[in-house]
Structure 1
Amino acid sequence: MTASLVVLWCGGKCLMVFNRYRQAWELPGGMLDPGESPREAAFRELEEESGQRPATLDFAGAARTWYAPGRRFEYLAIYQGRIVSPLPFTPNDEMADSMWWDPGEDLADLHPIDAALAHLCP
C-alpha cells in the first residue's frame, strides 16, 4: 500500500476537503510515511487535513489506481468511520476548506473516484 483514504460520515453526510493544489474536493488521505501502517496513515492524514479524530476507522477495501505522472500503479487502503460531533476545520497549507457532503447532491469540482468511493462506503 502506498496511500490511505478515509470516508468519514456524520449524520448521513460524507466529509470532503478542498485541495488547494488540485483545486478540487476530495476525500481526506495521503501517502504513508516510512514505517507507518495504512491505518496509522489514515488517522494521521484525516487529522492533518480536516482536524477530525474518530475513535475508530474500519478497513473498507483496497483500490489500485494508475498514477500518470509517475507512470505506475499505486495501491490505496480505504477506511471508513463515523463521528457524532465534528471538530472545527482550520485551513492549512494543503486544504483550504472542508464540508459535509450529501452524496445525493451534486458537488462541483469533486473528483469522480472520491464520489464513487463515498457511495461504496455508506
Structure 2
Amino acid sequence: MTIEQILQLLQAEGYLPSLDDGDVVFKAQGKHVFASAQENDPDFMRFFLDLYIDAGETSEAVLLQAANHVQRKLKCVKAMLLRSNEEGFVVRFSVELFTDMDVLSRCATRCIDILCTAAHDVGKAVDNGKQG
C-alpha cells in the first residue's frame, strides 16, 4: 500500500487529506487523524491521532485508567502515553492493520470512527474526573 493509494481512498471517502512529514493527515470529527504506510511492508498501515491534555486537567493515573478502558472496550485500539510532564500529557491512539486496498476501502471509515471514539471517551473520562 502506498501513500498515494491511501490519499486516493480517503478522498473517495469524502475526507480532504494532505501530506505532513510523509504521513497523510486529514480531519475527522473535528480531530486531526493521520495515516501512515510502511514502505518496507506494503500490507501494513496505521491510522492514528494524538490527544493533548493539560496537566491541570487530570492525573496520569486517571488518564491511563481511561486509556486502558478504551483499549478493552474497542479492542483494536492501541493507546500509548507519548508524553507526561509538567505541561501535560499526549496520548496516541492507533489502529494498525495488515490489509490491501480492497479490504481497506471497506473498513477505513470504521477504523477512523473508532479512533475518534477512543479520543472522545478518554476526554469524557478526564472531564468526569474533574467533576468528581
Bin for the TM-score computed over the shorter chain:
under 0.3
| Bigger radius of gyration | 2
TM-score (norm 2): 0.25
Length-normalised TM-score, structure 1:
0.27
